Amino acid sequence: MVFALSLLLSCALGVVGQGAAGGAGDKSGLRPDGQPRTAVPTRAVGGAAVLTHTLPGVDAVIEQAIDEKQIPGAVLIVGHDGQVIYRKAYGLRALEPRHEPMTLDTVFDLASLTKVIATTTAVMQLVERGEVRLNDPVAKYLPEFAQNSKDDITVRQLLTHYSGLEPDLDLKTSWEGKETAYRMAFAETPQQAPGSGFVYSDINFIVLGALVERVSGETLDAYTERHIFLPLKMMRTRFVPPTAGRAGWIEKIAPTQYDENEHNHAAGDLDQKSSLDIAHLINAEDATVALAVTRALPQIARAIDQVAAGLRQGGRLIYVGAGTSGRIAALDAVECPPTFNTNPRSVQFIIAGGAKALASASEISEDDAQAGREEMSRRKPTKHDVVLGIASSGRTPFTVAAIERARQRGAHTIALTCNPNSPLERAAHFAIVTQVGPEVLAGSSRMKAGTAHKMVLNMISTAAMTRLGYVYGNLMVNVAPKNEKLLQRAIGILEQATGASHESATKALKASGNRTPVAVVMLAAGVSPAEATSALKKSKGHVRQAIASAK
């Protein structure tokens, strides 16, 4: 698929400063609250004012984010009174296939900010000139859009994502070009009644781009350059690199997306390597996965807190995925009851194709968006539930649709993917993105992508259960001794957690009715089974809190 709809912006020419200051800037000397402005120390350099000192506070924030692997790099520009007064480049602009330092003239892909900066501005200019009205049906301007029950969708509903259309066009089938995208968008069928709910959709803005072109008589890139970018002196903001000097642009663009089919150069001759060399190569690539997960730790921590809060209020953690992603989700979900003695309803999974897809491939099911919506509707998600969608590409229709439906029903939604700015990320409240780079076996997401996502799910479920108090120290004190091996493990946990002898631990476990957490509280607090049970009920199963209250 080749179809560029996002803007490229270079920070080097002061776009941010000029845009924020409105061109000439406010020369009144007063802040919006009427108080005097605080002067910013500057000096003239090459006709522009620059700060005479650094910004240590801002520098520290950006450098910390780089150190913590939240971002690889950044360009900071500060505007004051219509001029750029401070600019600095930090870190790297590219990590793969090699490190490239961030520079002041780095060109950034604005991705979905294109909707705000370019398309929305263009539409509102046409509204301002009386050429378009917000409450008019889109079909008034684009008659071919009326097909498949879309004749009543308004311009306003496209702008506000209340059209009822899918989040994205079909990204599984290969297609190319703007006109093809327009035809596909016009042929879409709403998945819910227009105006009935919010669904973030790229299709909405593809159609709006077509509307701008039809009404103005200019292509969207030509219109925005003439009516938006040039008047605002945004001289290096455009949809695609120019024909003249294209190479100079390309080399300065900061990459923003991992291509799951990208070639792994180290594995180019994989079929000619020895068994040991193949093992070495896969092992070396796997060693990079932990770093990719490290970069996502702040988002993982946010997910942990949401899951713990939801479970504490009687909600559920519901995983949803297809293929490898669905099987990884199922594995984590089914391991929670034996590990933490949780109710099976607390952590659930939905896999495209149903339970049979666990044992046999059902990859065609991942394209069924309607099935994703229906499966999620059957679970009746609520505001206490957390629904986590997993897709290495971030484009799986089944998973995206399921997350959209869960969000519509009020659940907290999280995307887990290897691609930033994906449809899945846009469908969810926030995303955990593990950019692992190209696979040794090109496109095989069961390798590094699958490893990364298994690591993330391990973290989320284990940490959430720990936050709920189902772990004491680092011991599985909620383990249910349902066989001889687990019985001996429970006795060992009691000995280690409380310092009790083997005999005392065995007696306490028997007296507790083989309930390990009850036995822990009995031994640690010196109370009866009934008192330990009562303390655990008051603490909602939090073992450490139950011990403290029972003493």
User: Which residues are catalytically annotated?
Assistant: 335, 366
Q: Are 243 and 133 in contact (CB under 8 A)?
A: no
Tokens of 165: 């259309």
CA distances from 482 to 334, 506, 514, 515, 516 (A): 16, 15, 9, 10, 11
CA distance 40 to 37: 9
CA dihedral (147, 148, 154, 158) in degrees, to 10, reads: -110
CA distance 213 to 266: 45
Tokens of 176: 């190319």
Query: What are residue 126's phi and psi, to 5 degrees?
Result: -65, -35
Instruction: Identify the bridge partners of residue 79 per DSSP, sorted by sequence position.
Output: 84
Amino acid (one-letter) located at 308: A
CA distance 534 to 527: 11
Q: Are 410 and 403 in contact (CB under 8 A)?
A: no
Amino acid (one-letter) located at 145: F
Residue position matching structure tokens 């780089």: 66
CA dihedral (309, 310, 311, 314) in degrees, to 10, reads: 120
Q: Distance from CA of residue 275 to its chain's centroid?
A: 37
CA distance 408 to 153: 19
Q: How many residues does the chain have?
A: 551
Angle between helices 516-525 and 484-498 (to 10 degrees): 20
Cα-only R_g, the chain: 28
Q: Are 322 and 416 in contact (CB under 8 A)?
A: no
Tokens of 384: 């206490």
Helix (H, G, I), strand (E, B) or coil at 103: coil
Instruction: Identify the bridge partners of residue 430 per DSSP, sorted by sequence position.
Output: 414
CA distances from 131 to 122, 128, 537 (A): 11, 8, 66
Q: Distance from CA of residue 286 to its chain's centroid?
A: 22
Q: Are 145 and 138 in contact (CB under 8 A)?
A: yes
Task: Write the DSSP string, 440-458.
Answer: SSTT-TTTHHHHHHHHHHH
In this structure, the strands spanning 8-10 and 237-238 are: antiparallel
